Chain A
Amino acid sequence: MKALQFHYSMRIRFASPVREHHFTLRCLPGSDERQRIQNLSYTVFPNEFVSLAQDSFENECIYGYSKGEHDRFEVDVRGNVTTGLSDSISAPREERAAIFKYQTWLTKPGEHLLAYRKKFDFPAAVSSYDKAYRIMEQLHGDFTYEAGATNVLTTAEEALALRKGVCQDYAHIMISLCRMFLIPARYVVGMLEGEGASHAWVEIYDSGRWYAFDPTNFLTVKNDHIKISNGRDYKDCMINQGVFCGQTTQTQEVSVVVLS
């Protein structure tokens, strides 16, 4: 167990004002068997209309609408977390987890992933957990962390061809491989001490429970990770999603501070 406090903040500046701005923010960590959230608070600007909603993957969302002109958009979330309460999260219904066995546009294998899959030869008795661990280990050795080599819409197949990328790419490739071995695998967005920005990792399903793996750092998740959301891939977990009217350019600054 570990007690952490966090502060997530996002500042967007628009070069010229925008209006009719609709947004959905997946930036509120929730309590589960592994982590307990306390003193959660958030602010959003502009806050003309702001509500809370839960999406189909049970992620807590802030959503809203600002009709009037504005040239900045700001979100702050703070809270205290106790992590490491359990090594996994229960998933009582296997047929529900099966959704995460199917590839999405971002994880769909092409020739590189299909060839890479051949590196793994699992005897029948190996558990899903051990397979996932082996996949993480192999991937960590073959893939290099390099910011800027990929972007948010880079697919697992493209990233693997490059052999370099960021946490999102590690997660997508690992998910794609797990799914090829019929292991339900989901994408997780969260925060990690010392990271400065949001982080992405993977949860895999084995015998009624979800286990978290961080392929970027080659470790199984214990006390240091604060989970925010999960979904089939990056697109289900986008922290900030928005549409607005206005011809403009924007700059975005994100800061994540996690202190123990």
Chain B
Amino acid sequence: MVNMDLYNQTETVNELLARYGVKFGIYKDQTFKEQLFPFDTIPRIITNQEFLYLEKGLKQRVLALNYFINDIYSEKKIVKDNVVPEEFVYASSGYLPRCEGVCPPKGIYAHISGIDLVQGKDGEWYILEDNLRVPSGASYPMIAREFCRRSSPKTFKKHHIDDNRNYADMLRKTMDYVNTGGHTVILTPGRYNAAYFEHSYLAEKTGAHLVTGSELTVENDHLYYIDYTGKKEPVGAVYRRISDEYLDPMSFNEESVIGIPHIYDIFRKGNVALLNAPGNGVADDKGIYYFVPKMIRYYLDEEPVLKNAPTYVPYYKDDMAYVLEHFDNLVLKDVAEAGGYGVVFGNSMSKEQKADFIQLLKKEPRRFIAQEVIDFVDIDIFDEGKVVPRKADLRAFVLMADEPMVWRSGLTRFSRNPKSFIVNSSQGGGFKDTWVLSQ
């Protein structure tokens, strides 16, 4: 689909995005810098039929992940039945012993999930990773769509594109579903956070209060929001955009000054909902990723719809042998790292680097996974006026209320470097709108 009318508005849309503060912050050399997130007007287009297939697979996956987290913090059947080895759970940085025995409101641990996928050249979609902790990114295609519509209304009249402005309603429904009685708030660490734009935008669109930790207080087993006049109102749901370790200095990192003391105690008592629930990182660990298809079979008794990228876990002897034999064809990932860090390609290492790496791998096999390099499809972007192919992935958003819901849009990120497969915004990439066709 060629939409010159929209493409000609690239500059206008990017100017609007800059004016509305659509930025993300990064810390580089110990100073905080805000960067624009370059927007490319050529959309990624997904047909209705293809999206229905993705939707089916994503719902299945998030459902199984929620069952898994619940099981891990309660009965641990999957460990007992030896489907997931114990050390992959207890030695994972995402597993929090403080969450043992907790049942979050309505049993949901992963309310808002960002699932990263890529499409191979053969047309097959692969799951790259599950982001369950505090996945961000939905606000970017939401606001970009708004500006695209404004700049080129006829493009949206011409095509049957699903409206993606319902994300706020889906999020509100998700928050209301678990609310234990009281206001709904979005908890931000503040304006120096990488995703502050998103926090404020989602608060505005959902009608939730945007708050920092100092505006919330726990008294007598309940959480309260104190507004600027000093008025105190009960809070029933907190969409928290701060990570587990900073959430509550009494239960997690005691040095945290952005958290709310005792919020975790009242969460344990069922007196407030936290979205997403602390401890759910146990399921998005790169080491656990390998086991997700097994989880789907274990909990749902179904075959996984969507495939994982072919993955090897050197912890298993057979996999270790395979990894050593095919080292140059694989990408190796440190399970403890995120954001495109700790990822190395076997064929990019020098002889010495390779020898060192293999030594480390043998010493700490649990720390790494290896994956086949997927040759994923290029999609077109504008680069200085010319159309060029680049690597891109798709972050799909799955929200969990009484049932899982998949947002019919998503964040498409691309690498501006023609040689790079790494598309993370923290590595300087840009983004696109994702159109899901309604017919």
The CA of A102 and the CA of B91, in the complex, are separated in Å by 7
- Interface contact A56-B99, CB-CB below 8 Å: yes
- In the assembled complex, B101 has its CB within 8 A of some CB on chain A: yes
B residues 92-110 in Cβ contact with A at 8 Å = 97-102
The CA of A215 and the CA of B1, in the complex, are separated in Å by 75
Taking CB as reference atom, which chain B residue is nearest A238?
Answer: B254
Interface of A is mostly: mixed
Assuming the A-B contacts A98-B86, A243-B254, are A56 and B221 also in contact, with contact meaning beta carbons closer than 8 angstroms in the complex?
Answer: no
- In the assembled complex, A105 has its CB within 8 A of some CB on chain B: no
Chain B interface residue count, Cβ-Cβ cutoff 8 angstroms:
28
The CA of A49 and the CA of B100, in the complex, are separated in Å by 26
Chain A positions within 8 Å of B367 at CB level: none
- Interface contact A55-B90, CB-CB below 8 Å: no
Chain B positions within 8 Å of A57 at CB level: 97, 100
Assuming the A-B contacts A53-B268, A65-B219, A241-B250, are A99 and B97 also in contact, with contact meaning beta carbons closer than 8 angstroms in the complex?
Answer: yes
- Interface contact A63-B265, CB-CB below 8 Å: yes
- In the assembled complex, B220 has its CB within 8 A of some CB on chain A: yes
Taken residue by residue from 266 to 291, chain B's Cβ proximity to chain A (1 for < 8 Å, 0 otherwise) reads as 00110000000000000000000000
- In the assembled complex, B157 has its CB within 8 A of some CB on chain A: no
Chain A positions within 8 Å of B251 at CB level: 55
The CA of A98 and the CA of B80, in the complex, are separated in Å by 11
Chain A positions within 8 Å of B269 at CB level: 53
- Interface contact A101-B221, CB-CB below 8 Å: no
- Interface contact B221-A51, CB-CB below 8 Å: yes
Taken residue by residue from 62 to 93, chain B's Cβ proximity to chain A (1 for < 8 Å, 0 otherwise) reads as 00000000000001100110000011001100
A98 is contacted by which of B75, B90, B101, B218 (Cβ under 8 Å)?
A: B90
The CA of A53 and the CA of B251, in the complex, are separated in Å by 12
Chain B positions within 8 Å of A209 at CB level: none
Chain A positions within 8 Å of B101 at CB level: 56, 58
Chain B positions within 8 Å of A253 at CB level: none
Shortest Cβ distance from residue A222 to the other chain B in the assembled complex, whole angstroms? 29
- In the assembled complex, B249 has its CB within 8 A of some CB on chain A: yes
Shortest Cβ distance from residue B409 to the other chain A in the assembled complex, whole angstroms? 38
Top 3 A-B residue pairs of the complex, sorted by shortest distance between their CB atoms: A22-B261, A56-B100, A95-B76
New A-B pairs, 16, CB < 8 Å, besides A49-B220, A99-B100: A22-B249, A22-B261, A49-B219, A51-B220, A55-B98, A65-B218, A65-B219, A65-B262, A93-B75, A93-B76, A95-B80, A96-B100, A98-B79, A241-B254, A243-B250, A243-B254
- Pairs across A and B, CB under 8 Å, 13 listed: A49-B219, A51-B220, A54-B268, A56-B101, A61-B265, A63-B250, A63-B265, A65-B261, A95-B76, A96-B76, A96-B100, A236-B97, A243-B254
Chain A residues within CB distance 8 Å of chain B: 22, 24, 49, 51, 53-58, 61, 63, 65, 93, 95-96, 98-99, 101-102, 232, 236, 241, 243
